[in-house]
Amino acid sequence: MSEETTHAPDEPSDTLRDDSARDDFIRDKVRADLASSRVEHVVTRFPPEPNGYLHIGHAKAIVLSFEVAREFGGVCRLRFDDTNPETEDIEYVEAIERDVRWLGYTWDGPTRFASDYFEQLAEWGEKLIRDGKAYVDRSSEDEIRAGRGSITEPGTPSPDRDLSVDDNLELFRQMRAGEMPDGAAVLRAKIDMAAANMLMRDPLLFRIRHAHHYRRGDAWCIYPMYDYAHCLEDAIEGVTHSFCTLEFENNREIYDWLIEAVEIEPPRPEQTEFARLSLGFTVMSKRKLLQLVTDQHVAGWDDPRMPTISGLRRRGVTPEAIRRFAEDVGVAKRNNVIDIARFEHAIRDDLNHRAPRRLAVLDPIEIELENWPGDHVEQLEADDWPRDVPKDGTRAVPFGRRLLVEREDFAEDPPEGWHRLALGREVRLRYAYVVECTEVVRDTAGRVTTLRCRVDLKSRGGKTADGRSVPGTIHWVSADHSVPLEARLYDRLFRVEQPDATGGDFLQHLNPESLVVHTDARAEPSLAGAAPGTRVQLERLGYFVVDQDSAGDPLVMNRTVTLRDTWAKVAQTADAREAAARAQRRAEEKKAYKEAQRRQSEAGDDGVTLSADEERIAARYRDALGLAEHDATLLARHAERAEFFDAAHGICSDAHAVARWAINELRGAAGDRPLSELPFEGAALGRLVALVEDGAITAAAGKEVLAAMVAGEGTPEGIVDARNLRRIDDAGALEPTIDAVLAANAGQVAAYRGGKTALFGFFIGQVMQQTGGTADPQMVRRLLTERLDAD
Ligand code: ATP
Ligand code: MG
């Protein structure tokens, strides 16, 4: 495991928001407890079970417990809840300790283990027996379950419920001494077999397990149940605030009952629940993560596609980004799935000022500059940082006759709006010159091998001498000086947002393209020998980190995240986002409703009645997906439409968005053409909707893509790339265009600086036009202000 260089383990979390800004029900409770003197010194804990590696959900719990302790001058402890001998292992203990440290936290005192408390827990078991609050039950597992009753019926007391204290003490001693086999008896609390909370119907405290425990060996054979162990472990450690996820809400009653029953001195620990973190397009259950590893769907717990801390580390995500994300998501009382775009945003935001810019080409095609002076090599100066990062630094990149560019950046048959290389077209090479393709050279199989180009020798730095505008800029490396690179591009591990929500096998949703490796990539020479853990932004390609196993030849890099930003979507607070989304949905539903009514009356099928089958489908759309009545009906009424919708929804889980596109937008683009005549299927529509919903393209661009799909131009991704519709939000990628616009309009620039500030809109318009409307207007505004006001 490569150690992080960017970050010292003890560094305080000063990258997080100002403490005073944090206000949630957890902090409120802690504040109130301190104010009322219920507690004087805050003690929290993180209590993992060592049966797997930590994931991003655990990170949220870790950040919460450590940050709350820090904010209130208290301490946080690390305790392994190792009460299940069968699944636990020292490997997991070590991995978890490493991950917590890497996240930037130091726990108070030694690492603690529940297995060190088994004797104390057994003593308390005897105390409960002596106090008439626990008994040994020799019923079978099935009998105990049946005796619990149901929500509507009280339970039936076990025949052993009224054994004498002495008999119970003797039986419990036998259990502990290993004189009984597994399953022969359990220790139960004697609470209330008619309790409304089923968990209070004499819960199990200890069970017999003759198994090997990784710390206790074979000698110990009674294992405490979670509900018994957890609260008392907290009590032993002097924990004051015990945070856990919402599914333990009903367990709080047992927690409090036991703390009371064993007579813990104040301050007693108290449990508070918060919503667990669920991220889209991944799974978080340790059992499922383990299955991915053991069935070799991934290369290991630290495979960069895994949502584990070790996977994220290997992928190049920093601890700061994880902590920031956890804090930004905040604590809530309601479970929901967090859009993965928010996590990606936090990662980009963090890497933007950490990762210097570099050039590399994933899938090279050669260009030869026919009018370049011989073998001359020019060292061009390239900025390490874009203007929006307040850091300086440059490096030299060699430029010569033979260069490599991305095969994708050349089109033999350029679609409308193509701004990259094509025969007879000009393009700017980043930091270098403007070139024009004059000849396409092919091998005998007809595959393009080389592009001959003319370089405009007067355009050094990318500005043309005569002020003509060249809208496109592409990246490149020198063919003779670049170094070999293996680039591993990771994508979402699953194709659907909630792989484990639909029932069935979650593995069926695995994304077969979650890893794409480019073994013939080339990187600029300054990257030669880059150490594992080095982070860079490869311009136009994404943020990358040198893999921990990279020995240098070739250099191996993992893509941490692409450059695509969904800033607009996450900039607002979660609440505002939800409110805005709701309002938008309502408005859209209303519009769709009117539209549907209009269509129905046109078609003369007002008040149509659905067949039983159709009604079942409509009910599913309404109840399970939350679609509005008319949309559900509209889709269900035609089997073909429903199938089309289902296929799209299988790809993009936002049912409202999919319905909107499948009903309204599609009609706008295809008119009354039957679906069966369209040159694409429902899944393709789903992919398009996902592109819009993820913020990869704007809604306006989405409509353009849909029209092109209807016209048979291909897949949504293909059209987006061919027309260069991806939202441009990386400042570095916009700068050349801005330079070009300012250079081409020198007169207006002078006038603006002379006081004609109304020209600002003109510049914005020019940049937007040059980028085909794909630039983030906010970013354009900011960059233009900087440029116009600076020079
Ligand atoms: P499993 O995935 O097997 O259900 P677990 O994730 O609950 O297990 P633990 O080791 O018991 O594993 O978790 C340790 C702590 O992390 C617990 O306090 C738990 O509440 C918290 N935690 C686990 N998953 C999440 C999550 N997705 N979001 C927030 N906290 C979590
Ligand atoms: Mg658990």
Mutation probe of ligand 1 site: the residue of 58, 100, 279 with most atoms within 8 A of C-beta: 58
How far is it, in rounded angstroms, from Cα 495 to Cα 510?
Answer: 6
Amino acid at 350: D
Task: Kindly identify the ligand whose nearest atom is closest to the C-alpha of 329.
Answer: 1
Q: Which atom of ligand 1 is nearest to the CA of 278?
A: 27
- Token pair 């308390």 is at which residue? 124
Task: Kindly identify the ligand whose nearest atom is closest to the C-alpha of 282.
Answer: 1
Cα 142 to ligand 1 centre (Å): 28
Tell me: pLDDT of 601 over 80: no
pLDDT at 338: 87
Rounded to an integer, the average pLDDT of 69-91 is: 97
Burial of 197 by CB count in 10 Å (0-12 exposed, 13-18 middle, 19+ buried)? Answer: middle
What average pLDDT does the structure give for the chain?
89
Task: Kindly identify the ligand whose nearest atom is closest to the C-alpha of 50.
Answer: 1
Q: Which atom of ligand 1 is nearest to the CA of 244?
A: 20
Cα 790 to ligand 2 centre (Å): 56
pLDDT at 335: 80
Cα 264 to ligand 1 centre (Å): 26
14 is written with which tokens? 């000063």
Ligand 1, atom 8, residue with closest C-alpha: 286
268 or 735: which carries more pLDDT confidence? 268
Quote helix, strand, coil % in the chain, to nearest 5: 40, 20, 40
Terminal CA-CA length for the chain = 47
Report the relative pairing of strands 448-456 and 336-338 from DSSP bridges. Answer: unpaired
Find, among 410, 401, 407, 386, the residue nearest to 432 by Cα.
401
pLDDT at 456: 97
pTM for this predicted structure: 0.73
Ligand 1, atom 29, residue with closest C-alpha: 276
Write out pLDDT tens, residues 237-249.
Answer: 999 999 999 999 9
Angle (CA) 197 199 201, round 5°: 85
Percent of the chain with pLDDT over 70: 91
Cα 289 to ligand 2 centre (Å): 14
How far is it, in rounded angstroms, from Cα 631 to Cα 651?
Answer: 19
Tell me: pLDDT of 81 over 90: yes
279 touches ligand 1 (CB under 6 Å): no
Cα 333 to ligand 1 centre (Å): 16
3-state secondary structure 177-212: CCCCCCCCCEEEECCCCCCCCHHHCCCEEEEECCCC
pLDDT at 693: 83
Amino acid at 390: P
How far is it, in rounded angstroms, from Cα 328 to Cα 64?
Answer: 11
Ligand 1, atom 16, residue with closest C-alpha: 58
How far is it, in rounded angstroms, from Cα 47 to Cα 323?
Answer: 18
Q: Which atom of ligand 1 is nearest to the CA of 248?
A: 20
Q: Which atom of ligand 1 is nearest to the CA of 289?
A: 2
Burial of 379 by CB count in 10 Å (0-12 exposed, 13-18 middle, 19+ buried)? Answer: exposed
Write out pLDDT tens, residues 286-320.
Answer: 999 999 999 999 999 999 999 999 999 999 999 99
Tell me: pLDDT of 454 over 90: yes
425 touches ligand 1 (CB under 6 Å): no
Q: Are 232 and 262 in contact (CB under 8 A)?
A: yes
| HSE-up (13 A, CA, CB side) for residue 340 | 22
Tell me: pLDDT of 639 over 70: yes
pLDDT at 567: 31
Q: Active-site residues: which are they? A: 49, 276, 286
Q: Which atom of ligand 1 is nearest to the CA of 51?
A: 10
pLDDT at 592: 64
Cα 80 to ligand 1 centre (Å): 12
509 or 576: which carries more pLDDT confidence? 509
Write out pLDDT tens, residues 29-64.
Answer: 999 999 999 999 999 999 999 999 999 999 999 999
45 touches ligand 1 (CB under 6 Å): no
CA 669 vs CA 560, 597, 666, 673: distances in Å: 36, 19, 5, 10
pLDDT at 1: 41
617 is written with which tokens? 């489908």
Burial of 687 by CB count in 10 Å (0-12 exposed, 13-18 middle, 19+ buried)? Answer: buried
Cα 285 to ligand 2 centre (Å): 9
How far is it, in rounded angstroms, from Cα 238 to Cα 232?
Answer: 10
Burial of 545 by CB count in 10 Å (0-12 exposed, 13-18 middle, 19+ buried)? Answer: buried
276 touches ligand 1 (CB under 6 Å): yes
* pLDDT interval class at 197 (50, 70, 90): very high
How far is it, in rounded angstroms, from Cα 394 to Cα 31?
Answer: 49
Write out pLDDT tens, residues 687-708.
Answer: 999 888 877 787 888 998 999 9
Rounded to an integer, the average pLDDT of 253-267 is: 97
